[in-house]
């Protein structure tokens, strides 16, 4: 299946309720530091919302909840992989997206036969403190040459204005977080993203 080229990531159900009706077809729910019962309730509601909109929901990290809630996709960071039961995830039929930052992580990701690989941060990001500084567009080109037909997600410091460069460098999908949520007009910015990634 071909995934949509635009991949917003939100940390709150309210963002999905507000922005999914505008035409988003692929979205990640990334919840941190929240009680498990709240996460479970949020994932169930987000999944119902996405199904109603004909959109793909990717659940970050909480693979067991994703399985229980009947979700189709999860995303795991490298730290999440240490604790995840990949066999159980695959047995449940979940598709798997994985974060990578260096070649060792890419090799590890590819050994798990992922459904997409994310590289980041392509540009400096304010979202989280990382030991990796910007990876740059040339690394997207390098990654794409290695992974071939597996979809490549560019993440980190991405904006509407930078999307074209990421696609040209080899990304199949561009993920955005703060470019939307910190914008004065999130809905308008989302519209620009949808236009830029058609």
Question: Which CATH number belongs to the domain containing residue 125 in this structure?
Answer: 3.20.20.70
In the predicted model, is pLDDT for residue 183 greater than 70?
A: yes
In the predicted model, is pLDDT for residue 126 greater than 80?
A: no
pLDDT at 125: 76
Write a three-state SS string for 36-65. HHHHHHHHHHHHHHHHHHCCEEEEECCHHH
- Is 198 contained in some domain? no
- Is 31 contained in some domain? yes
Q: Say whether 150 sits in a helix, a strand or coil.
A: coil
* Mean pLDDT computed over 117-123: 95
In the predicted model, is pLDDT for residue 172 greater than 90?
A: yes
pLDDT at 91: 97
Structural domain count, the chain: 1
pLDDT at 54: 96
Q: Concatenated DSSP letters for 98-142?
A: EEE-SHHHHHHHHTT--SEEEE--SS--SSS--S-----HHHHHH
Q: Concatenated DSSP letters for 72-101?
A: SEEEE-HHHHHH--HHHHHHTT-EEEEEE-
- Domain range enclosing 87: 6-192
Query: What is the percentage of the chain residues whose pLDDT exceeds 70?
Result: 96
Closest CA to 153 of 24, 15, 13, 26: 26
Closest CA to 160 of 127, 135, 185, 131: 185
Mean per-residue pLDDT of the chain: 95
Closest CA to 7 of 132, 196, 149, 173: 173
CB 153 within 8 A of CB 145: no
pLDDT at 134: 83
- Is 1 contained in some domain? no
pLDDT at 33: 93
pLDDT tens digits for range 76-99: 999 999 999 999 999 999 999 999
- Is 122 contained in some domain? yes
- Is 197 contained in some domain? no
Supply φ then ψ for residue 126, to 5 degrees: -95, -5
pLDDT-based confidence at residue 127 (cuts at 50, 70, 90): low
Closest CA to 98 of 54, 56, 134, 150: 150
pLDDT at 111: 97
Angle between helices 160-169 and 186-196 (to 10 degrees): 30
In the predicted model, is pLDDT for residue 132 greater than 70?
A: no
- Residues whose CB is less than 8 angstroms from the CB of residue 159 and which lie 6 or more positions away in sequence, other chains included: 176, 179
pLDDT tens digits for range 5-49: 999 999 999 999 999 999 999 999 999 999 999 999 999 999 999
């Amino acid at each position: 299946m071909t995934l949509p080229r635009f991949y917003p990531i939100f940390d709150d159900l309210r963002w999905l309720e507000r922005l999914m009706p505008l035409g988003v077809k692929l979205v990640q729910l990334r919840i941190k530091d929240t009680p498990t019962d709240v996460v479970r309730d949020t994932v169930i509601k987000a999944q119902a919302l996405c199904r109603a909109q004909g959109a793909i929901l990717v659940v970050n990290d909480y693979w067991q909840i994703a399985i229980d809630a009947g979700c189709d996709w999860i995303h795991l960071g490298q730290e999440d992989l240490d604790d995840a039961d990949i066999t159980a995830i695959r047995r449940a039929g979940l598709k798997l997206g994985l974060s990578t930052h260096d070649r060792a992580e890419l090799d590890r990701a590819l050994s798990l036969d992922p459904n997409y690989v994310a590289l980041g941060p392509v540009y400096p990001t304010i979202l989280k403190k990382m030991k990796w500084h910007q990876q740059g567009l040339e690394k997207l080109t390098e990654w794409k040459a290695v992974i071939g037909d597996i979809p490549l997600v560019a993440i980190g410091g991405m904006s509407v204005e930078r999307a074209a460069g990421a696609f040209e460098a080899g990304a199949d999908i561009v993920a955005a977080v703060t470019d939307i949520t910190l914008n004065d007009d999130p809905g308008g910015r989302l519209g620009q993203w949808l236009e830029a990634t058609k």
